[in-house]
Copies of this chain bind each other. A is one copy, B any other.
Amino acid sequence: MKDAADKRMTLSEAAQLVQSGDTVVGGGCCYSRTPWAMLLELVRAERRGLTLARNLMCYESELFLASETASKLVSSWVGIGLRWGIPKVFREYVERDPSIYEEWSHLSFGMRLMAGSMGMPFLPTASLLGSDLLDRLPAEHIRCPFTDQLLVAVPALVPDVALIHVQTADARGNAQIEGPAYMDVECARAANTVIVTAEEIVPSEAIVRTADRTVIPGFVVDAVVEVPFGSYPHECHGRYEADFDHFDGYTEMVTREGVAGVQAYLEETVTAPGSFAAFLDTVGASRLLEQRRRARELVAA
């Protein structure tokens, strides 16, 4: 797959690259540049028992648990943002069975992906030292062979699949990111299979003209899917703000109805529309364009 000259496909075709039971890492951070369309495609495709890893998780955490798409989550933080707090159903699941959630610190999680992306089985860090997190994690104390400094070694994370949403990519998978890169590059380099969704697929000539902005080379990518608003209702830097009203509606429903609220949300946004494009239609063009306008206010210099 990786050596194909044209890797364009649909979301549902890309979902075929993910097997039940896989470890899947998602790019972005919390509600920013989340590969939302692709995550929900895995719910639609009824994948089961995934391990979902993401540096900071938003409410995809409880969507995946409540739909049984994931049976385990790996992260450093789970929350929707100051205004909405921790996802209620995620909390219920973990309070019932703490073993379904593996908690790292942000950097130690990042060093696991960096190790994977470097082809190294471990990396050292000063994080986790002295904490109770360390006792519950598959990480080890290590001493520097030169200075004898006490450090923590974290094991490489080599996900089966990485889901990355970017602003632009070409048909071969060469991808460019605007704004913060989060851990997307490490995800793409570490994973064995890489699915890139992009706001826009652009001609290769456009990539070549700005080659020092390319952060993911096509030779690590297996699938490229053009998905405008592919992070919505989350944000995509420079393109659209997160839809906080949508978050309000979601959290109200889940506060009221718990896991049934989560399931109703999936019914509304995944099952009933039948496709991500049809879901965007239910949102409506004017609301999407308003999110775009709000993004422009924040990036215009």
B140 in contact with A145 (CB, 8 Å): yes
A121 in contact with B142 (CB, 8 Å): no
Of chain B, the residue at the smallest CB distance from A140 is B145
* Distance, CA A208 to CA B121, complexed state (A): 37
* Distance, CA A208 to CA B124, complexed state (A): 33
Please name all residues of chain B whose beta carbon is closer than 8 Å to the beta carbon of A144 when the two chains form the complex.
120-122, 153
B122 in contact with A123 (CB, 8 Å): no
A212 partner, pick from B126, B155, B179, B208, beta carbons under 8 A: B179
Q: Mark A100-134, 1 if CB is under 8 A from B, else 0.
A: 00000000000000000001111111100000000
> A46 contacts the other chain (Cβ, under 8 Å)?
no
Please name all residues of chain B whose beta carbon is closer than 8 Å to the beta carbon of A145 when the two chains form the complex.
122, 140, 142, 153
CB A300 to nearest CB in B, in angstroms, measures 9
Please name all residues of chain B whose beta carbon is closer than 8 Å to the beta carbon of A123 when the two chains form the complex.
123-124
B121 in contact with A146 (CB, 8 Å): yes
> A205 contacts the other chain (Cβ, under 8 Å)?
yes
Of chain B, the residue at the smallest CB distance from A211 is B179
Q: Mark A144-155, 1 if CB is under 8 A from B, else 0.
A: 111101010101
Please name all residues of chain B whose beta carbon is closer than 8 Å to the beta carbon of A120 when the two chains form the complex.
124-126, 144, 151
* Distance, CA A122 to CA B120, complexed state (A): 13
User: Interface size class for chain A?
Assistant: 20 to 34
In the complex, chain A residues 140-172 whose Cβ is within 8 Å of any chain B Cβ:
140, 142, 144-147, 149, 151, 153, 155
Of chain B, the residue at the smallest CB distance from A156 is B146
A178 in contact with B212 (CB, 8 Å): yes
Please name all residues of chain B whose beta carbon is closer than 8 Å to the beta carbon of A146 when the two chains form the complex.
121-122, 138, 140, 153, 155
> A180 contacts the other chain (Cβ, under 8 Å)?
yes
Pull 29 A–B residue pairs with CB atoms less than 8 Å apart, ordered by A: A119-B126, A120-B124, A120-B126, A120-B144, A120-B151, A121-B144, A121-B146, A121-B147, A121-B151, A122-B124, A122-B144, A122-B146, A122-B147, A123-B123, A123-B124, A138-B146, A140-B145, A140-B146, A142-B145, A144-B153, A145-B153, A146-B155, A177-B212, A178-B212, A180-B212, A205-B301, A208-B301, A209-B301, A213-B213
**B-contacting residues of A (Cβ < 8 Å)?**
119-126, 138, 140, 142, 144-147, 149, 151, 153, 155, 177-181, 205, 208-209, 212-213, 301
User: Given A121-B151, A123-B123, A138-B146, 19 other A-B contacts at CB below 8 A?
Assistant: A119-B126, A120-B124, A120-B125, A121-B144, A121-B146, A121-B147, A122-B144, A122-B145, A122-B146, A122-B147, A140-B146, A142-B145, A144-B153, A145-B153, A179-B212, A181-B212, A205-B301, A209-B301, A213-B213
